[in-house]
Amino acid sequence: MGSRRTVLVVEDGEIDSESLTPEHAALAVVVASSDDAECYVFNEDTPGPDLVMLGAERVGLLIKLRADDRTRSIPVVVLTDTISEGEIDSLYRYGANSCLARPANGEEMTDLVATAIHYWLDLNLKPGAK
């Protein structure tokens, strides 16, 4: 894992991206609005993110990620305020890899993002992994 990995967090809430990077020296955390995120993900001049985290209200971006061959395999974690069975089922149908309840405050949100990063980038075995 010699190359720098990137996590795109599409979130308007409080996330302390500085506190996420010390234990992940080869990690860049980009926090962006929905419009900026779309420009970032589909920019031909930059490699795409290794993980995307976004709010359930940004389901349109999830659908676009899954519709494009270049971004289809990027893991997407969806943060949701409501925990309704119908919403969760829909998010998985649209291609979410994971759905998590959005925490109430910024510190808990930062902790949740750090935990998800650790799971998806450090522990999860991807297709083609040796």
Round to the nearest angstrom and report the end-to-end CA distance of the chain. Answer: 12
Helix, strand, or coil here: 68? coil
The radius of gyration of the chain from alpha carbons, rounded to an integer in Å, stands at: 14
pTM value is 0.84
Q: State mean pLDDT over 87-99.
A: 94
59 and 52 in contact (C-beta within 8 Å)?
no
- DSSP-derived secondary structure letter, 2: -
**pLDDT single digits (tens) 106-118:** 778 878 888 898 8
For residue 93 the two structure tokens come to 């149908």
DSSP 11-44: -SS---HHHHSTT-TTEEEEEE-HHHHHHHHT-T
Instruction: Indicate the pLDDT class of residue 66, thresholds 50, 70 and 90.
Output: very high
Q: Does domain 5-123 have CATH number 3.40.30.10?
A: no
Would you kindly state where each structural domain of the chain is located, as residue ranges?
A: 5-123
Q: How many CB atoms lie within 10 A of CB 101?
A: 11
Mean pLDDT in the chain?
A: 81
80 and 59 in contact (C-beta within 8 Å)?
no
